[in-house]
Structure 1
Amino acid sequence: MLSKQEIQLWLTSVFNSLNFNKNLGLNITICESDKAEIRFAWDDKLMGNPMQKILHGGVTATALDTVGGILAIYSRLDNMDIVNQEQLVEFTKRVGTIDLRTDYLRPGRGDEFIASAKLIRSGSRVCVCRMELHNNKGDQIAFGTGTYLVG
């Protein structure tokens, strides 16, 4: 059976290998059974409004969905007996976002952004997470709720 650490390392390596995540500069900083966090730095290519120099709303929604998805995957894996990487691959192939709600609270300004997720419910088929996006000063930019298919 794979250990929690082996599963975390595998998830992080898959996450870091995705070009989309690389292009946005997303990095996993916390991956636990009840919370997850990703961070990314400001980059002009992430700008949605050049007049105000603020984060694109799609980047905000992507960060929330991504951190929620990481938590949904890991919280479900934490309750499974995973024997090998092939089982991990088969499980993650079936995971997907069912619903995502994003509430934008203020313009996305900052040098660094932190997206975090907390677990609301993790069932055998569906996982629900609550996500937040803050800047490096602690200003809350957005929050969301994500529902994920995990079984």
Structure 2
Amino acid sequence: MRTPPPIPVEFEPDFVAGLKTIFEEKIVFNQVLGLKITSLKPERVTARIDMRHELVGHYSYNRIHGGVISAGLDAMGGLACMAAIGARHMDEAPEQRLHRFAKLGTIDLRIDYLRPGIGEHFELRAEVMRLGSRVASTRMEFLGADGKLLSCGSGAYIVS
């Protein structure tokens, strides 16, 4: 007997707006990176970084700095955890769920740089592989404007 697929979770507008405010405004370093959420779903989050002169790591090639890639993927892993936690506690009010992120932090981060980061903009994706009661494991991707995978990463986050 097959188990039916889970019913997709839809976040309330208040939760989405609150999470965007936390991620894009209250975490000021995300503003420095230019990270903007493009999709927020329990199973996957996506964002975009537009290339700017301040993000150049190699001036001869106008290549994005590896630290921007690493920090962006780390932030996306955290955002994926926030979305997964938000979906797990749908019985709570949006404001109550947003307070659950106060203790969220990176435990471990690994980034693989596969291709040079050259382009006008980049897409970042992340998903939670496992959400435990204390630790979450994530997988992240950093893609060029053409959809080509430039870097990938994995992270572990404290969630309680």
Write the letter of the residue equivalent to 1:8. Answer: V
Q: How does 1:1-151 map to 2 (within 5 A)?
A: 4-5=11-12, 6-17=14-25, 18-80=27-89, 81-83=91-93, 85=95, 88-89=98-99, 91-151=100-160
Q: In 2, Cα distance between the equivalents of 1:77 and 1:16? A: 17
Task: For residues 23-61 of structure 1, give each alpha carbon's deviation from its aligned partner in whole angstroms, at most 9, with x where no partner exists.
Answer: 221100111111001101110100111122101000000
Distance in structure 2 (CA, Å) of the matches to 1:19 and 1:126: 24
Q: After superposition, what is the alpha-carbon deviation per residue over 1:103-136, rounded to whole angstroms, capped at 9, x for unaligned?
A: 0001110111001012211112111111010010
Q: Tell whether the 8 Å contact from 1:98 to 1:149 is kept in structure 2 after alignment.
A: yes
Aligned length: 148
What SS does the corresponding residue of 1:4 show, helix, strand or coil?
Answer: coil
TM-score by length of 2: 0.86
Contact kept, 8 Å, 1:76 with 1:123, in 2: the verdict is no
Partner-residue secondary structure (3-state), 2:75? helix
Question: Which residues of structure 2 form unaligned runs of 5+?
Answer: 1-9
Aligned-pair distance for 1:87? 5.4
Query: Which deviates more from structure 2 when the two are superposed, residues 107-116 or residues 74-83?
Result: 74-83
Identity %: 34
Which whole-Å CA distance do the structure 2 matches of 1:99 and 1:16 have between them? 23
* Contact residue 48 and residue 54 of structure 1 kept, 8 A: yes
For the aligned residue pairs, the C-alpha RMSD in angstroms reads 1.5
Unpaired stretches in structure 1, ≥5 consecutive residues: none
Structure number with greater Rg is 2
Q: Secondary structure at the match of 1:78?
A: helix
Q: Look up the equivalent residue of 2:73 and give its one-letter code.
A: L
Q: Please, which moves more after superposition, 97-106 or 78-87? A: 78-87
Checking the alignment, whether the CA contact within 8 Å between 1:76 and 1:124 is kept in structure 2 is: no
